[in-house]
Amino acid sequence: MNAVAQPSALQVRAQDFLARYEGLKDRLPGDAAVRTAAAAAFARTGLPGPREEAWRYTSLRPLAEIGFREPLGPLADCAALLAGLPAIEGPRLVFVDGRFRADLSAVPSHVTVRTGTPAFGTLARLDEKLVTLNTMLAEDGATIDVAEGIDAGTLLLISLGSGSHSHPVAFHPRHALHLSPGASMTLIEIAMGAGTYLHNPVTSITVDAAATLTHLRIQNESPDAFHLSTVYADVGARGTYDSFALTLGGRLARMEVHAHLHGEKAAAHLNAAQLLGGNQHADFTTVVAHDAPATASRQTVKNVLTGHARGVFQGKIEVARVAQKTDGYQMNQALLLSPDAEIDSKPQLEIYADDVKCSHGATVGDLDPDQLFYLRSRGVAQAEARSILVRAFLSEALDPIVHEEARAAMETAITAWWERQSV
């Protein structure tokens, strides 16, 4: 008699998420038909597994071993978490456990902001499993519109995991941002929290002709949290999507960015830094599709890894036949400060045009012993010498950040992270 195959941990967790949807579907806001399609797709495909090429280096098994429930309500006292936020002035939208908190927010008056109903739009993207999960279970999110020619200044989008629940919780905010022609904005996203939770946000961004979005992200989640974010950026002619993501927190984190350059002379900058210690695992995955002539993309990703940490970079540049004069560049560099740390780097170029300039590269190493010796010989203590060299390594990634308060916040967060590793 043949033994009955037992479901894997990923399959069990996928069934749990489907059961949650069945219990919530009658009161979830937004397009019910889109959710039904997402649930059907998720029932077929489940969570991504290690046999999938895009998830070859990142296993969701640690997440699958935890049973998540929906948050009880956005009523938690977040005073301690709010006190730890970076000192950045400006209007802000605050989400606690995935739900908008008007009492903690300061909604800008010069842009249109809607909350309460997830904005699925045309980006259901049911081919991406985590996006499918988000589409199925999203309860809230921000929809932001910037009118033509408006300089909207700075807007903070803050997500807090309250840690106020007796059980692990999962939340799946769905955000959308549209910049009309000639508009500009700096969006600063900050993710922090306490306790064990899954934060699975999806953000769709549309940058119209000659518009510019500067998108800065600080991911400093709880050490026991899971951060799995997906961003889609559509960029029109002469538009610019300029982003930088700093990963510091979370037990397991993955930031995935899909940039589509569909207008002539559109540009995307997808820079990042991952600073990991202990048993942390973080993955920065990007896909840049050049689908118009004279488009440009730049990616510089820095990794500093200590302890048993593992970093992943997967960067793919796709150049369509029509995208002549494309200029694409990506570089991944890693400092391994422990013999047990690990980096997996997978740069890719897929080029169908014949008049392009595309390149990629990767470097892995420890701190330069000659530079350490030079600093030590001039009286600099060992810990301070290492700190100086790590900061110098990260400076290239931080240099393009012109928003002074955001850069100061990132430098402060990096200093705090380094001090924790040095204890």
Residues 33-47 have pLDDT tens digits of: 999 999 999 999 999
**What CA–CA distance (Å, rounded) separates 138 from 29?**
8
Which of 346, 366, 386 is the endpoint of a domain?
366
Lowest mean pLDDT among 3-17, 286-300, 384-398: 3-17
Q: Do 346 and 375 belong together in one domain?
A: no
Backbone angles phi and psi of 389, in degrees to 5 = -70, -35
* Type of residue found at 83: A
Q: Residue 116: pLDDT band by 50, 70, 90 thresholds? A: confident
The answer to whether residue 47 is domain-embedded is no
Position 1 in a domain = no
Establish if 5 belongs to a structural domain.
no
- Structure tokens, 74: 């956005």
Say whether pLDDT at 3 is over 60: no
Q: Which pLDDT score, from 0 to 100, does residue 1 have?
A: 47
Determine, yes or no, domain membership for 145. Answer: yes
Q: Do 422 and 343 belong together in one domain?
A: no
Residue that terminates a domain, selected from 345, 366, 387: 366
Q: Provide the pLDDT confidence category of residue 85 given band limits of 50, 70 and 90.
A: confident
pLDDT at 406 over 70: yes
> Of the candidates 125, 124, 71, which has an alpha carbon nearest to the alpha carbon of residue 98?
71
Does one domain contain both 347 and 417?
no
Mean pLDDT of 11-31: 92
Domain of residue 400: give its range: 367-423
Q: Mean pLDDT in the chain?
A: 92
Positive or negative torsion for Cα 66, 70, 73, 74: positive
121 confidence band (pLDDT: 50, 70, 90) = low
Give the Cα separation of 289 and 316 in Å (integer): 8
What's the structural domain count of the chain?
2
Q: In sequence order, what E strands does 221-341 have?
A: 226-235, 240-247, 252-261, 267-276, 281-290, 296-305, 310-319, 327-336
How would residue 396 be classed by pLDDT, with cut points 50, 70 and 90? confident
267 and 317 assigned to the same domain: yes
373 and 357 within one domain: no
Q: Do 322 and 240 share a structural domain?
A: yes
DSSP state of 210: T
Number of H-type helices and E-type strands within the chain: 8, 21
Question: Do 112 and 170 belong to one domain?
Answer: yes
